[in-house]
Amino acid sequence: MKILVCVSKTPDTTSKIAFKDGNAKFDDAGVQWIINPYDEWYALVRAIELKEKNASITLHMVTVGGADAEPIIRKALALGGDEAIRINADSNDSFYIASQIAAVAKDGGYDLVFTGKETIDYNGSSIGGMVAELLDAPYVSLATKFELNGTTATVTREIEGGEEVNEVALPAVVSCQKGVAEQRIPNMRGIMAARTKPLKVVEPVAVDALTSVVSFELPPAKAGVKLVPADNVAELVRLLHEEAKVI
Amino acid sequence: MSVLIFIDHADGHVKKASLEALTYGADLAKQLGVAAEGLLLGTVTEDLAALGKYGISKVNQVSNEALNNLDAQVYAKAIAEAATATGATVIVFSHNQTGKAVAARVSARLKAGLVAGAISLPDTSNGFVVKKTVFSGKAFANVNITSPIKIISLNPNSYKITAGEGAATVNQLSITPDAAKVKVTAVNKVSGEVPLTEAEIVVSGGRGLKGPENWGILEDLGHALHAAMACSRPVADAHWRPHHEHVGQTGVQVAPNLYIAVGISGAIQHLAGVNRSKVIVVINKDPEAPFFKAADYGIVGDAFEILPKLTEEIKKIKG
């Protein structure tokens, strides 16, 4: 059994979001980079748990990024897993990124590909579905529980107002979110072990991007909160009804 | 040439998010000077011709009950075939649970560029530029789709549904879906509640409510507003409320017209889940709570005194 976990480098949740070059690029000055939380806390940790239960599982992780993504992938290796692959390319087009991951996944013959449900920077929720399509494999998205049973998996996924339990044949692609696993902190042994784990660098395959970011913009600043005295709740209701027109 | 809008459904009914997508797609078709058509996989109990009132001229259906369960792989192939059969140049999805599973697959299958999480109609004056939310609602990106076929998935609750007059023709497509590799073995839906991601009003509680036994006064407010209930992460982690109510960066992300936060301080991780709400009301006894900076309206005071009064005042105007 071989599992591939897709990890992405994203700005820390608390980063100040700003743009440069005439709003064409994300301004990364002073930004702390982390592993996308959905990739790390849920997809990666669940894969590590599966390997802990069954030592014959091989666990690889893959990222698409430049050399500056390596500290992130070492951190991922410190949590667990056998080996990491960095595809040496930089892009914000989902199809381009997914095509790179699919090429690695095809070569490696993985039984299971995990992604986070979305990245906290581009919020596309697209990589898992695209990789699945390119591999011609089934896809279960927004998983909240995941269990392996031989050649199939039982996956609970989010639906509107509830959950649905799916039985899916492997190989498959699954996108993970809260519920699948709990966040872990790497320990010193893991950090030491990560230093000697293989981190392979592969060159990208030739693919045309299907989209390009023209510009970024920040939302208009909030006008500021309108405070209503605690003894005049009726005034709040009037404002919501007559001014904001939301009730 | 047409705009093809994917119509998602559950329990025999078209989802509200798809009515938004239909209105959006119909407006987009007008902008492009082409026809707007819908596509429904599976069967529903409601009258499909009536969907014409959202501005579409035709509803294409693959009337096969096997398609009432989602297998993203089977769906993507059927949608791609339907898009080819109808000559679609733009395909519109809602960026809801189904759209997130399927739109990306169709994109890869057709080599059609996808903008996931769109919030407004594209600017077609120079290319095909779609605005979408990025950085968990903290910014927007304008993304140009450069492929011949374009796919947009529309953020729920970001485009107003408009219903007019008119009936659509219903066209049966002869597409045979593949055998599903994903089997649905159980469905657990919370009945009698408004689903959080579809709700127009969300009422949310935090640690300031002091314990699960105090949720009654918040639920009363929720009922009066016909709102969905939500909570902050510490509340879900302490099992005061079920995990599916947790909104925030790692929980559910919501974008209602009105979000009322009671006893929630407003950590940045919480804001990441709610900052696409149109109007935010914060009730907190701490005037320094960071949430007030992100709020439109606020009351500094004791929730236990304010909530019953608020519910009473709302009942007055709701009659």
**Beta-bridge mates of residue A151:** none
More confident of the two residues B253 and B9 = B9
SS3 assignment, position B29: helix
Q: B237-296, pLDDT tens digit by residue?
A: 999 999 889 999 888 889 999 999 999 999 999 999 999 999 999 999 999 999 999 999
CB B47 within 8 A of CB B186: no
Residues B116 and B234 in one domain: no
Long-range contacts from B128-136, C-beta under 8 angstroms, 24+ separation = B129/A214, B132/A123, B133/A123, B133/B276, B134/A121, B134/A122, B134/A123, B134/A216, B135/A11, B135/A17, B135/A120, B135/A121, B135/A123, B136/A13, B136/A120, B136/A123, B136/B249, B136/B253, B136/B272, B136/B273, B136/B275
CB B57 within 8 A of CB B39: no
| Distance (Å) of CA B86 to CA A62, A138, B82, B153 | 38, 26, 6, 19
State the pLDDT confidence band at A214, using cuts at 50, 70 and 90. very high
Smallest Cα distance from A191 to chain B, Å: 25
pLDDT score for A135: 98
State the pLDDT confidence band at B202, using cuts at 50, 70 and 90. very high
**Beta-bridge mates of residue A114:** A5, A174
Best residue of B143, B253, B275 to probe chain A, by most A CBs closer than 10 Å: B143
Residue B190: inside a domain, yes or no?
no
**A174 and chain B: CB distance < 8 Å anywhere?**
no
Cβ within 8 Å of residue B208, ≥6 positions away: B262, B263, B264, B265, B284, B285, B303
State the pLDDT confidence band at B197, using cuts at 50, 70 and 90. confident
Nearest to B40 by CA among B54, B9, B61: B61
Residue A123: inside a domain, yes or no?
yes
Place of tokens 């519920």: A179
**Beta-bridge mates of residue A153:** A148, A168
Q: B108-118, pLDDT tens digit by residue?
A: 999 999 999 99
Residues B157 and B218 in one domain: no
Domain range for A11: 2-219
Contact B187 A161 (CB under 8 A): no
Q: B12-47, pLDDT tens digit by residue?
A: 999 999 999 999 999 999 999 999 999 999 999 999
Best residue of A17, A120, A123 to probe chain B, by most B CBs closer than 10 Å: A123
- CATH number of the domain at B168, please: 3.40.50.620
Residues B14 and B107 in one domain: yes
Q: What is the mean pLDDT of residues B165-172?
A: 96
Handedness of CA B192, B195, B199, B205 (dihedral sign): positive
Residue A231: inside a domain, yes or no?
no
Count other Cβ atoms within 10 Å, centred on residue A241. Answer: 15
What six digits make up the tokens of A48?
Answer: 């590590």
- CATH number of the domain at A139, please: 3.40.50.620
CB B90 within 8 A of CB B151: yes
Does the pLDDT of residue B176 top 80, yes or no?
Answer: yes
Contact A41 B198 (CB under 8 A): no
State the pLDDT confidence band at B189, using cuts at 50, 70 and 90. confident
Q: Give the total number of structural domains in chain A.
A: 1
Best residue of A142, A147, A247 to probe chain B, by most B CBs closer than 10 Å: A247
State the pLDDT confidence band at A222, using cuts at 50, 70 and 90. confident
State the pLDDT confidence band at A241, using cuts at 50, 70 and 90. very high
Residue A239: inside a domain, yes or no?
no
Residue A79: inside a domain, yes or no?
yes
**A134 and chain B: CB distance < 8 Å anywhere?**
yes
Q: How far apart are CA B69 and CA B8, in angstroms?
A: 11
Torsion of CA B168, B172, B173, B176, to 10 degrees: 140
Residue A195: inside a domain, yes or no?
yes
Q: A99-133, pLDDT tens digit by residue?
A: 999 999 999 999 999 999 999 999 999 999 999 99
pLDDT score for B196: 87
Residues B206 and B280 in one domain: yes
Q: Between A and B, how many residue pairs show a Cβ–Cβ distance under 8 A?
A: 277
Rounded percentage of chain B residues whose pLDDT exceeds 90: 91
User: Which residue from B145, B293, B317 is facing A237, i.e. has the nearest CB?
Assistant: B317
Q: A128-166, pLDDT tens digit by residue?
A: 999 999 999 999 999 999 999 989 999 999 998 889 999
Q: Which residues of B touch A211 (CB under 8 A)?
A: 113-115, 143-147
Q: How far apart are CA B217 and CA B210, in angstroms?
A: 12
Domain range for B204: 196-318
Does the pLDDT of residue A220 top 90, yes or no?
Answer: no
Residue B26: inside a domain, yes or no?
yes
State the pLDDT confidence band at A37, using cuts at 50, 70 and 90. very high
**A132 and chain B: CB distance < 8 Å anywhere?**
yes
Residues B106 and B32 in one domain: yes
Q: How far apart are CA A80 and CA A83, in angstroms?
A: 9
What six digits make up the tokens of A213?
Answer: 């970011």
Q: How far apart are CA A202 and CA A121, in angstroms?
A: 24
Residue A213: inside a domain, yes or no?
yes
pLDDT score for B133: 95
Residues B61 and B146 in one domain: yes
State the pLDDT confidence band at B156, using cuts at 50, 70 and 90. very high
Smallest Cα distance from A140 to chain B, Å: 7
CB A247 within 8 A of CB B258: yes
Q: Give the total number of structural domains in chain B.
A: 2
Q: What is the mean pLDDT of residues A14-27?
A: 94
**A209 and chain B: CB distance < 8 Å anywhere?**
yes
Contact B105 A133 (CB under 8 A): yes
pLDDT score for A114: 98
Identity of the residue numbered B62? V
Cβ within 8 Å of residue B173, ≥6 positions away: B60, B61, B62, B81, B82, B85
Residue B188: inside a domain, yes or no?
no
Identity of the residue numbered A160? E
Residue B94: inside a domain, yes or no?
yes
Residues B144 and B210 in one domain: no
Nearest to A128 by CA among A66, A177, A83: A177
Contact A123 B134 (CB under 8 A): yes
DSSP H/E element including A201: strand A199-202
pLDDT score for B148: 98
Handedness of CA A233, A237, A242, A244 (dihedral sign): positive
Identity of the residue numbered B80? A
Q: What is the mean pLDDT of residues A18-47?
A: 96
- CATH number of the domain at B252, please: 3.40.50.1220
pLDDT score for A210: 98
Residue B78: inside a domain, yes or no?
yes
Residue B183: inside a domain, yes or no?
no
Q: What average pLDDT does chain B have?
A: 96
Cβ within 8 Å of residue B115, ≥6 positions away: A211, B130, B132, B143, B145, B150, B151, B152, B153
Q: What is the mean pLDDT of residues A86-90?
A: 97
Q: Which residues of B touch A124 (CB under 8 A)?
A: 104, 114, 116-117
Residues B207 and B151 in one domain: no
